Amino acid sequence: MSIEPANGGESGPSDELAAEIDERAADGRMPGRRGLATRQRLLDATAEQLESCGYRDLKVVDIARTAGTSPATFYQYFPDAESAVLVQAAVLTEAWHEELQFLITGRDWSGDPDAAAHEVVDGFLTFWTDHRAILKVLDLASMEGDFRFRDLRTWLLNGATNALVDLVAAHDSDMDPKATAGVVIAMLAHVANHRPGLERWGADHDALVATVAGILRHAIVG
């Protein structure tokens, strides 16, 4: 995995963050094929552990056991459990930054804005559900002021946010493009985070999608 360094979360990870998520082993050497495979097993085990325990409760010994290796092997690749989570978050960000942008741009907003809005909302909620564990970490650590996770969260959502800015501007809306895009992305993330509770309350998935899609459509095309 390689994420190009930049000067902050809006254009990519900072230089400091890019260095922290580098694939090099603890001794500075680049692992070979077997080493990279072991590293990936540890990352997969980290993701698996996050599904069943809180971020703050994550332990190296549990990650190593899940990966079928030892804590000593873990420390050859990562200094602590948080570093493994950070890399896992970076992998997600790299994989989905452009996908979330395309979720906005790859729609027929002029010909069928209702369908476009529904597809965006449904896709966003599905993405959040599929990656809920690591996204919860991004949210929690960002709110706590950890710039590394904040930069990754910003970079993850930046493509979709900028795509919305361009869409609102292109449709000559009375709404401010940047304010609208920021509010819409915040709304999508908030609804996605609270979807399980909303559904238990009685607002089912289809109703949530229809409601948020109606707001999104109005924000873009009026």
Residue 89: count of CB within 10 angstroms of its CB = 23
What is the per-residue pLDDT for 7?
Answer: 38
What is the per-residue pLDDT for 9?
Answer: 46
The percentage of the chain sitting over the pLDDT mark of 70, rounded to a whole number, equals 86
137-156: string of b/e by CB count within 10 Å (b at 16+)?
Answer: bbbebbeeebebbbbbbbbb
Q: What is the pLDDT of residues 161-177, one digit of tens each?
A: 999 999 999 987 788 99
Which residues of the chain, if any, have pLDDT below 50? 1-9
What is the per-residue pLDDT for 35?
Answer: 80
Enumerate residues 6+ apart whose C-beta is below 8 A from 46: 58, 63, 81, 84, 85, 88
Q: Which CATH superfamily is domain 15-221 in?
A: Tetracycline Repressor, domain 2 (1.10.357.10)
Q: What is the pLDDT of residues 182-197, one digit of tens each?
A: 999 999 999 998 998 9
d(CA 127, CA 98): 13
The percentage of the chain sitting over the pLDDT mark of 90, rounded to a whole number, equals 61
Nearest of 52, 215, 25 to residue 124 by alpha carbon: 215
Residue 90: burial class (beta carbons within 10 Å; 0-12, 13-18, 19+)? buried
End-to-end CA, the chain: 41
Q: What is the amino acid identity at position 132?
A: R
Block residue for tokens 């979807």: 195
